[in-house]
Chain A
Amino acid sequence: MKKPIVFTSEHEMPPMAVSLADMGHNRTGSWRYLRPVYSEKLAPCKNACPVGNDIPRILSLVSQGRYEDAWRLFRETSPLPGVCGRVCYHPCESFCNRKDFDEALSIAAIERFVADACFDLEDRIPERPKRSEKIAIVGSGPAGLACAYFLAKDGYAVTVFEGASQPGGMLRLGIPPYRLPRAVLDREIELIARWGVEFRTNTRVGQDISLEKLWEQHNAVFIATGAHQSRALNIPGEEFALTGLEFLKAVNAGKTIALGKRVLIIGGGNTAMDCARTALRLGAHPIVVYRRTREEMPAIAEEIEEAEHEGTQFEFLAAPVAIRKLNGKLEVQCIRMKLGEPDASGRRRPVPIPSSDFIMYTDTVLKAVGEEPDLAFLSEHLETSEGIVIERAQGMLERAGIFIGGDAQTGPSTVAQAMRSGKEVAQKIKSFLRGERPPKATTLEEAVRVNFNYFTHRPRVATPQLAVSERILSFAETKRAISAEQARVEASRCFSCGVCNSCDNCWVFCPDAAIARINGHYEINYDFCKGCGVCAEECPRSVISLVEEEL
């Protein structure tokens, strides 16, 4: 009934007080001053993901057993789900709203499961217009690979130049296979190549080909050469120490390194942890010497735990001051440190305690006190300050079509951060080639509030691990995959923050029956919605916002 009934005389009225129509003429929507609107929010996990994986939607697909769809959704935002599911330090999990309820979702384990389950799948490569512009990418680490993938998807002709014999950069040279099996890396690089990316290995820019030449032959150049230059200890006898990263590269390349029994690793970052765990697998006893305490270690907490779990010893608040060789053994003179005032990084500065020197005996010393980008081939345009690359003239390189990203720009960071950088550069290059301004990055504008009342406590899935006794015998991957059933159950723990999963609560709780369900979606009838706000309040995942009506 759209119109009110109007009686013009008593004869038109029924003989007794009986209703003749429904209340459809009464548009209670006019009472409303707040309008509920479905507006999906950026989930904190997705916001925290450096490559912007659409985690709530992916987990929703996994919870329905739709692993292939989940894998394809990963590949929309990242060419390396198998790699990231293993080596990413998963900032998504640190921001997971579920951690305030019981435990964060095990997102990395699910990503890895999906990648493994879909190992044999291929991307569907659509017919797309070939573009004439040619792009050179220097370096095939995560930054270079990500950039290549996203440019190639848009039809650009991409050539990746790699100094080593195989592509992968630090993923292949630096990360030990017990964290990242090479078959996974090979497969994901192969899939990137399918998009038409050409890999030119054994070609070191600055040696085998000059940057100038690349620049002349291409419309844009991306420099993603990483940070491979190890920092020096600057102490007497430094020549007796091996470089941690070179050690890792040699072992990862299959070379035999005689370490002896005791190995001292100087430094507290991820390279140091990789060195310690690799040394363990070569039968040595690693001791990490770090000048601050465990809390200040720059390595990812999980790596520190694993290294310790496997048998690495730690010597905190100690720094080497000299290395001497005695009868084939090394004698490392260390000094005891204490923590002083915070430095520029916010960590407390280590201060030597006078006359506290002590000696540590060892067979090998590995130095792993940080890496820096080596951009000698660019030296006339750039300078580095504390590992950060600064252009001599601001923006000059980009105006010429030369872009720098990944660790080469920032100093050592994470795989995911390098991928983010590569992805951003791909966008910058597209804008550059089209003569446009690059689009602005989106940020989290509204916090997602979860209504915990609609959830029950359920424990997080535990990632199966090889036993330590088995682990240290080989370079086999230490973490095992979770099962399909575990992945499905774990994914169903997701709150689906900010993303509607058709739970029906808005429809259930509307006191005005003003919400319709249409194929798993909802429509609010604003003719009748009074704007009480119950739907927004009871939405478990903040999908509904209340906005003020315009008068």
Chain B
Amino acid sequence: MRNFTLPERELMGSGHLGCQGCGGALAMRYALKALGEKTIVVIPACCWTIIAGPFPYTSLKVPVLHTAFETAAVAASGVRAALDIQGDTETTVLAWAGDGGTFDIGLQSLSGAAERNENIIYICYDNEAYMNTGIQRSGATPFLAWTTTTPEKTPKSEPKKDIMAIMVAHRIPYAATATVAYPDDFIRKVQKAKSIYGTKFLHVLAPCPPGWKAPSEWAIKLSRLAVQTRVFPLYEVENGERYTLNEPKDDTALPVSEYLKLQGRFSHLTEKDIQAIQDLIDKRWQRLLRQVRESA
């Protein structure tokens, strides 16, 4: 039996406003377990704006700065600068944004911070649409997925934006993918990010049961299947060059249909559509293997 070893500390309190089975809430719980009390979290407009609780409450036991949609990375950079002036190099600044605030609206400020190599950890918890406002498509919404703005008759016709490639192209010291079904891997990556100076980027797949139209108890199962089907492989890239593949380790992947069939947002797909998605995944997988091989 594979047993997980998680830090005991609990810096996310109960009573938060995440939906049943919220992958984003669980991701925050893991991230703060990894980082500890000396952390300041910067949250732009996203689900977590709501999850944390309304004024005058907070569900986190560390300081939180709520900021505007496009400003997660730059606000975090400012907090970092303020701490540095005070001589506090111990406290970690964590920018915590959704896919909308990362892939779309906050991309320029993220790019700026990465280019300046600001000493922050930026975690994008990606639930693959603007879930908080009612499931509108984002640049992170997968190919052919249903959202309220890409209805079944015209599902999203563009593939998901490759945010990791964008961040890797900035040659930041550390970029990695993680997801909630792999807590040990998740926590190791956050702790590794903490140990490195400069801009660290984590792309976290965070299943959203209401938005993905799946039962809440399948949140972890979906996260695991995303990895097992190579929809969301777990890997790390150091200094924009060195690729390391973490999961899936096996040569045999499950077919993507195993992942898609559990989610209502893909229920309109035809066999042909599923094959098109499979082809896309296979192509990306081959590219990732090539990148791992070439950087070895």
A residues within 8 Å of B by Cβ?
1, 5, 13-14, 17-28, 31, 453-456, 501, 503-505, 508-514, 525, 527-528, 530-534, 536-538, 540, 546
In the complex, which of the residues A23, A28, A509 has the most CB atoms of chain B within 10 Å of its own CB atom? Answer: A23
Which of B51-59, B108-116, B233-241, B277-285 makes up part of the contact surface? B51-59
With A28-B15, A528-B14, A533-B217 as known contacts, state yes or no: A504 contacts B3, CB within 8 Å.
yes
- Complex Cα distance A467/B143, Å? 63
Q: By the criterion CB–CB under 8 Å, are B1 and A455 in contact? A: yes
Residues of B within 8 A of A505 (CB): 4
Residues of A within 8 A of B64 (CB): 19
With A22-B57, A22-B61, A508-B4 as known contacts, state yes or no: A533 contacts B21, CB within 8 Å.
yes
In the complex, which of the residues A17, A21, A511 has the most CB atoms of chain B within 10 Å of its own CB atom? Answer: A511
Minimum Cβ distance to chain B for residue A441 (Å): 32
Residues of A within 8 A of B14 (CB): 23-24, 28, 512-514, 525, 527-528
- Complex Cα distance A527/B12, Å? 16
Known: A22-B58, A27-B15, A527-B14. 9 other contacts (CB 8 A): A18-B56, A20-B56, A20-B57, A23-B15, A23-B53, A511-B23, A514-B14, A532-B219, A537-B218
Residues of A within 8 A of B61 (CB): 22
Q: By the criterion CB–CB under 8 Å, are B15 and A528 in contact? A: yes
Closest to B18 in A: A511
Residues of B within 8 A of A27 (CB): 15
Instruction: Verify if B20 is at the interface (C-beta below 8 Å from A).
Output: yes
Q: By the criterion CB–CB under 8 Å, are B15 and A25 in contact? A: yes
List residues 22-45 of chain B with CB under 8 A from any CB of chain A: 22-23, 25-26, 29
Q: By the criterion CB–CB under 8 Å, are B20 and A19 in contact? A: no
- Complex Cα distance A511/B16, Å? 10
Instruction: Verify if B151 is at the interface (C-beta below 8 Å from A).
Output: no
Q: By the criterion CB–CB under 8 Å, are A511 and B219 in contact? A: yes
With A533-B216, A540-B1 as known contacts, state yes or no: A512 contacts B56, CB within 8 Å.
no
Number of interface residues of B (CB under 8 A): 40
Task: Tell me if B's interface is mostly helix, strand, loop or mixed.
Answer: loop
Instruction: Verify if B264 is at the interface (C-beta below 8 Å from A).
Output: no
Task: Tell me if A's interface is mostly helix, strand, loop or mixed.
Answer: loop
Residues of B within 8 A of A525 (CB): 14
Residues of A within 8 A of B25 (CB): 511-512
12 of the cross-chain contacts (CB-CB < 8 Å) are: A5-B56, A19-B57, A25-B15, A31-B20, A504-B3, A508-B6, A512-B25, A530-B19, A532-B217, A533-B216, A534-B21, A538-B220
Q: By the criterion CB–CB under 8 Å, are A530 and B15 in contact? A: no
Identify the 6 closest CB pairs spanning chains A and B, nearest first. Answer: A533-B217, A23-B15, A528-B14, A532-B20, A532-B21, A19-B58
- Complex Cα distance A513/B29, Å? 8
Residues of A within 8 A of B56 (CB): 5, 13-14, 17-21
In the complex, which of the residues A27, A532, A546 has the most CB atoms of chain B within 10 Å of its own CB atom? Answer: A532
With A532-B216, A534-B219, A534-B220 as known contacts, state yes or no: A509 contacts B26, CB within 8 Å.
yes
* Interchain CB contact (< 8 A) of A504 among B4, B180, B215: B4
Interface digits, B6-18 against A, CB 8 Å rule (1 contact, 0 not)? 1000101111111
- Complex Cα distance A536/B209, Å? 16
